[in-house]
């Protein structure tokens, strides 16, 4: 990385209020604590304010209204939003966006449509009738099933598996080990206690601008489609069962699970290790704290929920406050019972 202060200011629409040489080169981006000479850092939270006075960075991105309380050795670049500006700079130096070409060996089946700008990593397998859009990056050891379609500018990292007939939108990111379109968990109990597999003949449809974390699994529908709407962000190690629908711009953290035929609305926020029972409907804008369990549908919008089973977050926190007092209350009750027993004995005399 070699970029001048002037270029950084232009890219971020920032302002350098100090009188300095605009051609000073920046060679790396790092945190305030780890930065060294030639580095660009950033101040995005108030708790890191002390670090800006000690940093060895040559320049620091700060908010427009930031005012130093004492001398800072670094050059300050004032921007409207620090994180947005940082993302612009990081995107410039993401080496993954520049990969192109087809490595060897790969397998490409018949009637496969490959568009321009593709990167296809070694040992990948593209099945018959697959359609691969423009500027797609498919890293080594990926499997693309028969009839799969993938939209422009999507990235599949190493080891992604996409089963037959699934559809992936544009500008998606699917991280290593993710499995899209595996069979839903459909098993019919038999009279003898065994189970008969229910064929899963549907598919998965993933819309544009979706990101799916490493080792996340999204099952195909029994019939029709499991649907991930535009802008959804799924963390690592999430299970999405058959016939689920996840609404636009919903975000789900690691190790959560959504059972079959449940529908999450738009802008739902889900903490880690949350579990949804099957056949539920969750209204738009609801938020769920980590390790919550949701056994029933939630019709009202924009609620905040926590606990197992979930309750409004303030109710759950009040209950937890009471739980902390339970041992002491038990001791008091136990002592009162002893006193009552002594009184009973005394009265009998």
Is 109 within 8 Å of 126 (Cβ atoms)? yes
Whether the bond into 105 is cis, omega within 30 of 0: yes
The C-alpha atoms of residue 182 and residue 235 are separated, in whole angstroms, by 18
Sign of CA dihedral 323, 328, 331, 333: negative
Whole-number CA gyration radius for the chain: 28
The C-alpha atoms of residue 325 and residue 337 are separated, in whole angstroms, by 18
DSSP state of 195: E
Q: Return the active site residues.
A: 242
Is 182 within 8 Å of 219 (Cβ atoms)? yes
The helix/strand/coil state of 213 is coil
Element (H, E) at 313: helix 313-348
SS3 content of the chain, % helix, strand, coil (to 5): 20, 30, 55
Which residues 6+ apart lie within 8 Å of 284 measured at CB? 247, 265, 266, 267, 268, 301, 302
């Amino acid at each position: 990385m070699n970029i001048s202060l002037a270029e950084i200011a232009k890219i971020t629409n920032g302002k350098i209020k100090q009188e300095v040489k605009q051609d000073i080169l920046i060679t790396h981006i790092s945190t305030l604590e780890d930065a060294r000479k030639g580095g660009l850092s950033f101040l995005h939270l108030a708790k890191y304010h002390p670090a800006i006075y000690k940093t060895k960075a040559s320049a620091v991105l700060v908010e427009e209204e930031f005012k130093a309380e004492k001398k800072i050795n670094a050059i300050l670049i004032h921007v409207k939003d620090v994180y947005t500006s940082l993302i612009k700079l990081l995107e410039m130096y993401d080496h993954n966006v520049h990969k192109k070409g087809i490595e060897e060996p790969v397998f490409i089946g018949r009637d496969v449509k490959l568009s321009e700008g593709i990167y296809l990593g070694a040992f990948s397998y593209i099945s018959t009738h697959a359609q691969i859009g423009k500027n797609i990056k498919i890293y080594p050891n990926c499997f693309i099933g028969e009839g799969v379609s993938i939209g422009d500018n999507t990235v599949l990292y190493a080891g992604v598996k996409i089963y037959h007939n699934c559809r992936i939108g544009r500008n998606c990111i699917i991280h290593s080990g993710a499995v899209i379109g595996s069979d839903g968990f459909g098993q019919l109990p038999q009279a003898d206690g065994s189970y008969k597999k229910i064929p899963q003949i549907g598919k998965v449809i993933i819309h544009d601008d979706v990101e799916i974390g490493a080792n996340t699994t999204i099952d195909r529908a029994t019939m029709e489609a499991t649907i991930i709407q535009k802008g959804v962000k799924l963390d690592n190690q999430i299970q999405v069962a058959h016939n689920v629908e996840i609404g636009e711009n919903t975000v789900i953290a690691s190790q959560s699970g959504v059972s079959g035929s449940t529908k999450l609305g738009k802008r739902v926020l889900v903490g880690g290790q949350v579990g949804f029972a099957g056949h539920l409907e969750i209204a738009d804008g609801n938020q769920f704290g980590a390790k919550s369990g949701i056994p029933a549908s939630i019709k009202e919008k924009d609620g905040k929920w926590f606990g197992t089973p979930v309750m409004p977050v303030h109710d759950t926190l009040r209950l937890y406050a009471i739980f902390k007092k339970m041992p002491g209350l038990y001791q008091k009750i136990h002592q009162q019972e002893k006193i009552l027993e002594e009184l009973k004995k005394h009265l009998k005399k």
